[in-house]
Amino acid sequence: MDLENQARIKDLADEFGNEELIVVLGGGEAEASALAAETVTSGDPTYAGPLAGVPLGLKAYHIFELKDEVDAEVYDEQISMMEMVLDMDTIIEAVSALR
């Protein structure tokens, strides 16, 4: 997760509280998605960004996990193609393990 997004998420958590926010991830690799989930949950493990040492405790979900929550037409248009080329189960497992 880049430093700019870390700062945005930190600002939103400061403004709205961590109980009112979830983070929706869309990474194409399990490892990268898990790293992003860890960053918003426990703090930036690379100690490189605004969330270094800042455990926000936010819940992170991959967009694949929220398929039933998204308008079917929008999901089909924007995301369904990725289901065919990515390892959905591995990505979901990696992200959900951090909640």
Local confidence pLDDT in tens for the 99 residues of the chain: 999 999 999 999 999 999 989 999 999 999 999 999 999 999 999 999 999 999 999 999 999 999 999 999 999 999 999 999 999 999 999 999 999
Nearest in space to 57 (alpha carbons), one of 84, 89, 20: 20
Length of the chain, in residues: 99
Nearest in space to 30 (alpha carbons), one of 98, 99, 87, 97: 87
Model pLDDT, residue 89: 98
Model pLDDT, residue 20: 87
Domains in the chain: boundaries: 3-96
Model pLDDT, residue 64: 98
Model pLDDT, residue 49: 94
Model pLDDT, residue 33: 98
Residue 34 CA to residue 16 CA, distance in Å, equals: 24
